[in-house]
């Protein structure tokens, strides 16, 4: 069963990939597609036409008038086998999702952990790496999250991407992405985890840049790839350091030796650093890249250039949750490295408030939800930093449902509005697409922590954990998460009010707006149910007295870690604080966008500098461009022009060949054709020969 859970998506990806390749070959036998064929077929996908002249005064000023890049209809017919590729990949993912829930019941509630050997992967000296599936409760939770959301995204994509002529390739990428994530969460050692880690990086590059003929999509894909490689470099160093200290990369050996590493040091550039602290910080660096934490977050909003279902998969269930899972998996190490935990808490809290401030003024419906993802990931790392590993996993579990719901709901809005993404060009849609409106309300309530929704239980637990946390950054994290709760409520309701309420700003598209097809609405209904039901029934096993029985050895709580017990003794006013913040955020958004829409306009005008600062995402892109991108390009240009062109080509092969040509050219000039010239040359040669012979023979 466990092999089927993991490898069915890979099987689907291979079959869809073959269909894509064979379909392309049948369409253009023996040759590449003629230039411009794809461009013509997909002009609708790539259009960036002006999004209907609109007075910027309706909101806070400037911003992109975005359109979704999903096409209006292909000029080129769909690739052969498109329907077959959709059905195969979706069916296999549904089967894998059902088996994942069975695995959760068997492993989490009933049975012991399972280890399934696959093969010996590599043996080199003392390094022995076995490929095996590690199925414990932590893995089972991730299997449910990944496969459930992925199956629903596959089903949703059948409707959303029905106009896309290259659907087999798209579904192949989706299934490949899912398989890579499954490889990551079932890893039994760090190298196997790194294989899945890089696999999701590759798949994200392919999906974000799916419409590769768009410069924006290409740039976003490259940005995600490069930024993640920065984090992965740190992750690799952490793996190397662990192998150096323990002589192994499998989790069982590392965790068994972890207590012996306490107090040991590593010579790091002449600095004798605490081994566990340094190792955990480098591992966390990898998590910062994958989970888009502060400083390595810049790729996340740009990932919206991919199709909307991709956003739901990346941001809700797969890639961004990989960092959270990895830190939870390595909890036996982090429990012994309190300084590293402090750093994790600080970065997580900073990310939570930082992303929330940016989300306040964004106008692209998908980017607002993207910054919400970034902020909620910060919450998860706060929980990890203060030692509440199960609480972080609880929020990861609930967040997958309501965040996937918000992304796919946004896709339904975009679909209804003829691919419009700018919320300033919407309004009044609740009467045109009532089902989408209801599910978006449910997702928003869950995100903001409305009582009895899934987010209420997991998000509030994190805030309470920060309050009772013992590390030096716990109080800072508590303040940041509480403030972020207010901001999250404000920008979430801002999205709802400007999209679904008020007067329509684009009357033509409003009149033409229609509800999405059933194949898109079914996933929304399932996710809406999960956004409500994933909370209370699971609260006890994630954040109550059943944690130790449920997670057993998959999560490690040190002897001094009593955070789960202390959660039950939080003062009432602290427990109610997140709900109060949620209500305040709702009230302000109602005042700003329903009763007095002129207020945000006036505030933006009065505080233009602050508004532009937030709208431009704290100018991180510009800062990184100045610090890293431009110097890198200058160095590359110098190596190209001076190093390669002037030095290597000038004095290397090209230079030598040029000199040979010069000499040859001058020698050729001696070939005049006159007999007396040749006789004169012969005399000179004979004289030189006689002279050489006399001196070499010793004639005096």
| Segment 200-259, tens digit of pLDDT | 999 999 999 998 888 888 999 999 999 999 999 999 999 999 999 998 899 999 999 999
pLDDT at residue 456, as a whole number = 93
Is the per-residue pLDDT at 72 higher than 50?
A: no
Is the per-residue pLDDT at 97 higher than 50?
A: yes
Helix (H) or strand (E) holding 16, with range, is helix 2-27
**Residue 156 — pLDDT band, cuts 50, 70, 90?**
very high
Contacts of 155 (CB under 8 A, 6+ apart): 90, 94, 519, 522, 523
Evaluated on CA atoms 529, 9, 219, 357, the torsion sign reads positive
| DSSP state letter for 516 | P
Confirm if 356 and 373 have CB atoms less than 8 A apart: no
Is the per-residue pLDDT at 401 higher than 60?
A: yes
Q: What is the pLDDT of residues 7-30, one digit of tens each?
A: 999 999 999 999 888 876 555 555
Mean pLDDT of 48-59: 38
* Segments in 161-214 forming alpha helices (H): 167-185, 190-208
Of residues 27, 25, 6, 28, the one with CA closest to residue 17: 25
Q: In percent, how much of the chain has pLDDT > 70?
A: 89
3-state per-residue secondary structure call for 42-101: CHHHHCCCCCCCCCHHHCCCCCCCCECCCCCCCCCCCCCCHHHHHHHHHHHHHHHHHHHH
Confirm if 474 and 466 have CB atoms less than 8 A apart: yes
Is the per-residue pLDDT at 601 higher than 70?
A: yes
Mean pLDDT of 112-121: 89
Higher pLDDT, 58 or 574: 574
Q: Coil, helix or strand for 403?
A: helix
C-alpha angle 423/428/429, rounded to 5°?
80
Alpha-carbon distance of 337 to 276, in angstroms, equals 6
Give the number of C-alpha atoms closer than 13 A to the C-alpha of residue 34, restricted to the C-beta side: 5
Which range has the worst mean pLDDT, 58-62, 290-294, 394-398, 421-425?
58-62
pLDDT at residue 64, as a whole number = 41
Mean pLDDT of 175-191: 94
Backbone φ, ψ for residue 523 (5° rounding): -60, -35
Is the per-residue pLDDT at 109 higher than 80?
A: yes
Helix (H) or strand (E) holding 512, with range, is helix 507-512
Higher pLDDT, 123 or 677: 123
- The beta-carbon contacts of 445-448 under 8 Å, at least 24 apart in sequence, are 445/531, 446/398, 446/401, 446/402, 446/405, 446/531, 446/532, 446/535, 447/372, 447/376, 447/402, 447/403, 447/406, 447/488, 447/492, 448/485, 448/488, 448/489, 448/492, 448/493, 448/582, 448/585, 448/586
pLDDT at residue 67, as a whole number = 46
Confirm if 250 and 188 have CB atoms less than 8 A apart: yes
pLDDT at residue 125, as a whole number = 81
Tell me what the pLDDT averaged over the chain comes to. 86
Alpha-carbon distance of 83 to 78, in angstroms, equals 9
pLDDT at residue 272, as a whole number = 85
What is the DSSP track for 547-587?
Answer: HHHHHGGGS---TT--HHHHGGG--HHHHHHHHHHHHHHHH
Confirm if 384 and 348 have CB atoms less than 8 A apart: yes
Of residues 329, 580, 560, 349, the one with CA closest to residue 466: 349
Written as six digits, the tokens of 127 are: 């390094």
| DSSP state letter for 209 | T
Q: Euclidean distance between the first and final Cα of the chain, in Å? A: 99
Q: What is the pLDDT of residues 337-354, one digit of tens each?
A: 999 999 999 999 999 999
Confirm if 106 and 523 have CB atoms less than 8 A apart: no
Q: Coil, helix or strand for 363?
A: coil
Distance of CA 415 to the CA centre of its chain: 23
Higher pLDDT, 186 or 635: 186
pLDDT at residue 62, as a whole number = 39
Higher pLDDT, 52 or 427: 427
Higher pLDDT, 404 or 650: 404
Whose structure tokens read 């990369």? 249
Is the per-residue pLDDT at 515 higher than 90?
A: no
**Residue 56 — pLDDT band, cuts 50, 70, 90?**
very low
Is the per-residue pLDDT at 36 higher than 50?
A: no
Mean pLDDT of 466-474: 92
Is the per-residue pLDDT at 170 higher than 50?
A: yes
pLDDT at residue 35, as a whole number = 45
Is the per-residue pLDDT at 39 higher than 50?
A: no
Higher pLDDT, 110 or 45: 110
């Amino acid at each position: 069963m466990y092999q089927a859970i993991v490898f069915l998506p890979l099987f689907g990806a291979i079959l869809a990939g073959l269909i894509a390749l064979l379909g392309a070959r049948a369409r253009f036998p023996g040759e590449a597609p003629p230039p411009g064929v794809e461009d013509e077929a997909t002009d609708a996908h790539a259009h960036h036409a002006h999004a209907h002249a609109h007075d910027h005064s309706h909101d806070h000023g400037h911003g992109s008038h975005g359109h979704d890049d999903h096409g209006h209809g292909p000029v080129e017919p769909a690739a052969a086998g498109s329907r077959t590729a959709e059905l195969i990949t979706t069916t296999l993912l549904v089967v894998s999702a059902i088996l994942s829930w069975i695995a959760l019941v068997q492993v989490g509630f009933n049975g012991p952990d399972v280890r399934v050997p696959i093969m010996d992967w590599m043996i080199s000296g003392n390094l022995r790496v076995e490929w095996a599936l590690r199925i414990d409760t932590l893995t089972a939770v991730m299997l449910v999250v990944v496969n459930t959301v992925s199956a629903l995204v596959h089903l949703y994509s059948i409707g959303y991407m029905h106009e896309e002529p290259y659907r087999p390739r798209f579904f192949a990428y989706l299934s490949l992405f899912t398989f890579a994530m499954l490889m990551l969460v079932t890893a039994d050692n760090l190298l196997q985890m790194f294989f899945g880690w890089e696999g999701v990086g590759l798949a994200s590059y392919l999906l974000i840049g799916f419409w590769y003929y768009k410069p924006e999509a290409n740039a976003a894909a490259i940005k995600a790839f490069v930024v993640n490689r920065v984090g992965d470099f740190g992750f690799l160093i952490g793996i190397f350091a662990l192998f150096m200290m323990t002589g192994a990369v499998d989790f069982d050996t590392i965790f068994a030796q972890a207590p012996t590493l306490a107090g040991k040091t590593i010579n790091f550039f002449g600095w004798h650093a605490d081994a566990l602290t340094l190792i955990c910080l480098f591992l966390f660096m990898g998590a910062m890249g994958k989970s888009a934490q502060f400083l390595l977050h810049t790729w996340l909003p740009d990932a919206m250039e991919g199709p909307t279902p991709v956003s739901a998969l990346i941001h809700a269930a797969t890639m961004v949750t990989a960092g959270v899972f990895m830190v939870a998996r390595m909890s036996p190490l982090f429990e012994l490295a309190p300084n590293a935990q402090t750093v994790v808490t600080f970065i997580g809290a900073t990310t939570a408030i930082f992303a929330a401030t940016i989300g306040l003024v964004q106008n692209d419906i998908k980017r607002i939800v993207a910054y919400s993802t970034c902020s909620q990931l910060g919450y998860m790392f706060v929980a990890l930093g203060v030692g509440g590993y199960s609480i972080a996993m609880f929020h990861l579990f609930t967040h997958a449902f309501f965040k996937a719901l918000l992304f796919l709901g946004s896709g339904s809005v975009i679909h209804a509005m003829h691919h419009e993404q700018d919320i300033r060009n919407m309004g009044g849609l609740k009467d045109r697409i009532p089902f989408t409106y209801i599910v978006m309300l449910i997702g928003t309530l869950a995100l903001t922590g409305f009582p009895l929704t899934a987010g209420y239980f997991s998000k509030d637990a994190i805030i309470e954990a920060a309050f009772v946390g013992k590390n030096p950054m716990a109080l800072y994290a508590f303040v940041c998460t509480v403030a972020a709760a207010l901001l999250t409520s404000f920008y979430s309701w801002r999205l709802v009010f400007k999209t679904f309420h008020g007067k329509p700003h684009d009357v033509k598209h409003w009149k033409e707006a229609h509800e999405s097809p059933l194949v898109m609405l079914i996933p929304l209904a399932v996710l809406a149910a999960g956004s409500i039901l994933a909370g209370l029934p699971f609260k006890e096993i994630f954040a109550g007295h059943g944690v130790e029985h449920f997670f057993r050895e998959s999560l490690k709580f040190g002897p001094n870690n009593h955070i789960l017990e202390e959660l039950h003794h939080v003062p009432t006013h602290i427990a109610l604080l997140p709900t109060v913040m949620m209500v305040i955020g709702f009230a302000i958004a109602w005042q700003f966008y329903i009763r007095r829409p002129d207020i945000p306009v006036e505030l933006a005008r009065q505080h233009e500098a602050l508004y532009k600062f937030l709208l431009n995402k704290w100018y991180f892109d510009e800062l990184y461009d100045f610090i890293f991108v431009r110097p890198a390009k200058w160095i590359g240009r110098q190596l190209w022009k001076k190093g390669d062109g002037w030095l290597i080509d000038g004095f290397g092969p090209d230079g030598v060949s040029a000199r040979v040509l010069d000499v040859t050219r001058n020698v050729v000039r001696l070939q005049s054709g006159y007999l007396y010239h040749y006789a004169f040359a012969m005399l000179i040669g004979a004289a030189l020969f006689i002279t050489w012979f006399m001196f070499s023979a010793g004639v005096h």
